[in-house]
């Protein structure tokens, strides 16, 4: 990958939803070629941040750059893969029909699409289920189809919203090994999770609480600074260390710039 | 393959797994038409109104089916995912329209065939009846797609039919000849697409040919394009 530096960079990022501020003036960077974990309790703004990165979140202000371009730029749609929290594939189609459709959307021609589908099926260990309708698969299998649908396009940046929920330990281990391999190939992975054991497998960790970045650190640093024995306790220590009612200091009053709408 | 046809073939693949829906789409209009034929057996009612119903029933059936389509995509999360891919909003709506247009063609052939079998006589050319019936069904699809982009819940989606189709049914000339309506209603009927669908079929029933229905067919085609554009315009890539 030619694009060194940061795969995602946010400055004074702010997202509002239903009159509430979900993300409040966030400055953050996701380095290229790393697995970056996005951790935080539910309602902390993880999904909203990921949706902003892939360009489907409304009312995003501030600066948000993805692979060198403003988030939501049409050309990014080929370079970024997104997996939603709930499996978002067509349950009335077979595994292969789903993957073939997403491969073609990613711009792969017939033969290339077939090869990409085979690779993606193997990557999520769904061999033997190719001709099965998604509706007849188990919950864990469905979420793997959903993950495979993002892998077929071979994106430079993978944005995964809780990809390991409902999966057994063996599969979780295998998926994390795959995430590491993908990062080794130069791809960037932004993975949200609230399973703290998974945190140790990330290169960097972003800890989110109520739309504010509580920590931007590495797993080793996290344990060291908190003195906790494991990631779970370290996270709790960090979350509870921050006083709830912070004085609402807003030093920068520069006008926020609107990210360009990437609609066609 | 373009992204539009890729999407259309994906929708067709989904329909092929849903045999019951396809059966309902093909059989239901025939069943309704059969009831009318039976009720008015031995009278010229079927010859007079049959062609209009051949256009009307498929339109309503297709409207209902497609008005749920976008909502289904929205609620399954697949729409959000599609919006992060290179798929254009136009590809999405046109893909659906294309897939359902193929089904509409099949439907109109079956329904017109059935109407002839139960004794409908059409004075005008039969192929035009099929063409107009198909255009009506496609219009139903596209209006349904436009409506479903507006609906945010199942409750809203099912009410789009009475909200959008019923006023057109009342003023289209089926209940009362349009020249006998109060002036305002007559004007209103002119801006509704269903009026032109019914008008074209009336002409064909009375022995008219292409030159008599060309105008109405053109208006229906414009409404189809308009509904697709509306469907695209109301789709949002970014949502709250």
pLDDT tens for A196-244 read 778 889 999 999 989 999 899 999 998 888 888 888 888 888 877 765 5
DSSP structural state of residue A133: B
For residue A253, pLDDT beyond 60: no
Q: State the average pLDDT over residues B84-97.
A: 95
Q: State the average pLDDT over residues A184-197.
A: 90
B29 to chain A, closest Cα gap in Å: 25
Distance CA A165, CA A86 (A): 9
User: Which positions ≥6 away from A206 have C-beta within 8 Å?
Assistant: A28, A30, A36, A37, A38, A39, A213, A215, A216
Alpha carbon separation from B94 to A99, A104, B81, B158 (Å, rounded): 21, 17, 18, 22
Q: State the average pLDDT over residues A242-257.
A: 46
Is B20 at the interface with chain A, CB within 8 A?
no
The tally of domains found in chain B comes to 1
Residue B201 lies in a domain: yes
Choose, out of B84, B88, B152, the residue to mutate when testing the contact with A (most A CBs < 10 Å). B84
Distance CA A24, CA A43 (A): 13
Residue B48 lies in a domain: yes
Q: What is the pTM of this model?
A: 0.88
For residue B105, pLDDT beyond 50: yes
Look up the domain containing B148 and give its range.
Answer: 3-234
Closest CA to B120 of B34, B212, B55, B192: B34
Q: What is the pLDDT of residue A232?
A: 81
Q: What are the extents of the domains in chain A?
A: 1-79+157-243, 89-154
Confidence of residue B157 (pLDDT cuts 50, 70, 90): confident
DSSP structural state of residue B240: -
A64 to chain B, closest Cα gap in Å: 15
Could B80 and A263 be called an inter-chain contact, meaning their C-beta atoms sit closer than 8 Å? no
pLDDT, one tens digit per residue, over B158-177 is 899 999 999 999 999 888 88
Confidence of residue A35 (pLDDT cuts 50, 70, 90): very high
ipTM of predicted assembly, 2 dp = 0.88
Phi–psi pair at B43, nearest 5 degrees? -115, 165
Residue B240 lies in a domain: no
Q: State the average pLDDT over residues B59-84.
A: 91
Residue B126 lies in a domain: yes
Residue B239 lies in a domain: no
Could B238 and A97 be called an inter-chain contact, meaning their C-beta atoms sit closer than 8 Å? no
Is A225 at the interface with chain B, CB within 8 A?
no
Per-residue tokens: A247: 């004085």
Superfamily of domain A1-79+157-243: P-loop containing nucleotide triphosphate hydrolases (3.40.50.300)
Q: Give buried/exposed letters for A143-165 (b at 16+ CB in 10 A, else e).
A: bbbbbbbbbbbbbbbbbbbbbbb
Q: State the average pLDDT over residues B193-202.
A: 94
Q: State the average pLDDT over residues A131-144.
A: 93
């Amino acid at each position: 990958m030619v694009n060194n530096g940061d795969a995602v960079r946010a400055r004074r990022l702010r997202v509002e939803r239903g009159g509430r501020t979900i993300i409040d003036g966030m400055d953050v960077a996701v380095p290229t070629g790393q697995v970056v974990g996005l951790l935080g309790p539910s309602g902390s703004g993880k999904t909203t941040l990921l949706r902003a990165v892939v360009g489907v979140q409304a009312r995003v202000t501030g600066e948000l750059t993805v692979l060198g371009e403003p988030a939501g730029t049409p050309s990014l749609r080929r370079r970024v893969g997104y997996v939603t929290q709930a499996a978002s594939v067509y349950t009335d189609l077979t595994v292969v029909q789903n993957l073939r459709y997403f491969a073609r959307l990613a711009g792969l021609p017939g033969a290339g699409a077939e090869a990409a589908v085979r690779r993606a099926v193997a990557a999520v260990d769904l061999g033997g289920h190719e001709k099965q309708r998604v509706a007849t698969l188990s919950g864990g299998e469905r979420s793997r189809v959903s993950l495979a649908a993002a892998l077929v396009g071979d994106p430079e940046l993978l944005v995964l919203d809780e990809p390991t929920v409902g999966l057994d330990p063996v599969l979780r281990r295998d998926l994390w090994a795959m995430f590491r391999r993908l990062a080794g190939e130069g791809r960037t992975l932004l993975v949200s999770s609230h399973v703290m054991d998974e945190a140790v497998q990330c290169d960097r960790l972003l800890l989110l609480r109520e739309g504010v970045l509580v920590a931007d650190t590495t797993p080793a640093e996290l344990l060291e600074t908190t003195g906790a024995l494991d990631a779970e306790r370290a996270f709790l220590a960090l979350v509870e260390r921050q006083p709830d009612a912070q004085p609402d200091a807003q030093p920068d009053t520069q006008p926020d710039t609107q990210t360009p709408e990437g609609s066609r | 393959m373009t992204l539009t046809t890729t999407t259309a073939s994906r929708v067709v693949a989904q329909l092929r797994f849903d045999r019951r829906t396809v059966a309902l789409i093909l059989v239901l209009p025939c069943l309704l038409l059969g009831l009318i034929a039976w009720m008015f057996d031995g009278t010229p009612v079927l010859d007079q109104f049959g062609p209009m119903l051949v256009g009307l029933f498929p339109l309503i059936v297709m409207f209902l089916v497609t008005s749920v389509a976008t909502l289904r995509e929205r609620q399954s999360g697949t729409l959000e995912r599609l919006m992060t891919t290179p798929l254009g909003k136009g590809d999405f709506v046109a893909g659906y329209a294309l897939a359902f247009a193929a089904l509409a063609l099949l439907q109109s052939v079956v329904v017109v065939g059935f109407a002839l079998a139960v004794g409908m006589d059409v004075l005008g050319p039969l192929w035009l009846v099929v063409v107009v019936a198909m255009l009506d069904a496609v219009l139903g699809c596209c209006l349904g797609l436009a409506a479903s982009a507006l609906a945010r819940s199942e409750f809203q989606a099912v009410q789009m039919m009475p909200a959008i189709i019923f006023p057109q049914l009342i003023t289209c000339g089926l209940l009362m000849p349009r020249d006998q309506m109060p002036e305002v209603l007559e004007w209103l009927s002119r801006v509704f697409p269903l009026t032109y669908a019914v008008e074209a079929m009336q002409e064909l029933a009375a022995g008219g040919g292409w030159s008599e229905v060309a105008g109405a067919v053109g208006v229906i085609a414009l409404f189809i394009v308009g509904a697709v554009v509306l469907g695209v315009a109301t789709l949002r890539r970014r949502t709250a």
